[in-house]
A and B are shown apart, each in its own frame.
Chain A
Amino acid sequence: MVGKIEYSGSLWAMSDTMTKVADPVEGSADKGRIFIRVVRFLGWASIWLGLFLLGFVAHQLFVTTFFAQQNNVALIQEAETSFATVEITEIPYVAPDVAPGGPVLTDPDDVDLPGPVLRVEAAPAEGESFAIIRVPSLDRLVDGWAVVEGVSRRNLKNGVGHMASTPLPGQPGNVVFSGHRTTYGAPFHEFDELVPGDIIEVETALGVHAYEVRETIIVRPTEIWVTQPREGAWLTLTTCNPKFSSRERLVIFAELVAGPNFEAING
């Protein structure tokens, strides 16, 4: 049985019932029309795909950053307001024993001897701006970026997020902050330029806590050991790596070197 390709509107159909042999000239014209339609379709598809990707890049790099910077101004004001109102308490502090699973804090009620006093602020609510991070050696963080409680996607759109399961800045243990590298203001954009010895300042209601960079490593996003408790007082900063990819994590470990609780923790 001889078939012929028939064109009807935008649909092509193979007719099994026709017995007429296809005309070579007519078949060539049909092929030409098909070719033109395919080229036209691919052309328009490329244009729309290009516009879609252009919009995506513009949205991610500029729109999200514009709104994040607007939010950051308001969140820094919110943090500064909270500094004056947040409740601060003082508790006796005894250096923790370090167990294989991490340090164990001594119950303050069990401490009778007078010793170092640790200043502790009330825990912030989820999404609340409670601290400001500054890195004098990085242009983007010289003036500071607000730190909000929690590292959910929504929280990180507003700035740097504090992992709620870790201590607050200036407290013993391992404080963990996460932040965007390329979108939403990209507060951690230049973190690959940090070197050991650089200072990271975190201002809270207690005062300014200064951390000194000790080590920078690159890990997979699932390596949660970097967030686990550590002896002394540490700040761990995590962000995406490399830039424009979330394939890995750039992790910066910094140790407390000055601040309201430094003497109590290290003395």
Chain B
Amino acid sequence: MRIVRWFNALPGPRVVQVILAFVIFVVAFTALMFVYDWMGNNLLDSGGTIS
């Protein structure tokens, strides 16, 4: 499993690896939501404003 290999490749003891993995997940998830939000506002529905 590639994801397990990535996890094991993280530096430090197991606790640090878990914390790092969590931080990476949160950052990636936030970035994904930001991209989704940007795409939604520019492609799908801008809110209907006139400007």
A204 at the interface (CB under 8 A from B): no
Collect the chain A residues with CB atoms within 8 Å of residue B32's CB. Answer: 55
Give the total of B residues in contact with A, Cβ under 8 Å: 16
Determine the chain A residues whose CB is within 8 A of the CB of B41 once the complex forms.
Answer: 153, 246
Q: Which of A16-46 contact B (CB under 8 A)?
A: none
User: What's the least CB distance linking B22 to chain A, in Å?
Assistant: 20
Complexed CA–CA distance, A181 and B40 (Å) = 12
Report if A180-B48 is in contact (Cβ < 8 Å); known contacts: A55-B32, A59-B33: yes
A227 near B50 (CB under 8 angstroms)?
A: yes
Contact in complex: A178, B44 (CB < 8 Å): no
* Contacts A153-B41, A246-B42; A180 near B47 (Cβ below 8 A): yes
Query: B43, B46, B51 — which one has the most chain A CB atoms within 10 A of its CB?
Result: B46
Interface size classification for chain A: 35 or more
0 or 1 for each of B20-51: is its CB under 8 Å from A? (1 = yes):
00000000000011001001111111111111
**A178 x B47 contact (CB < 8 A):** yes
Tell me which residues across on chain A come within 8 A of B47, comparing CB atoms.
Answer: 151, 153, 156, 161, 178-180, 184, 240
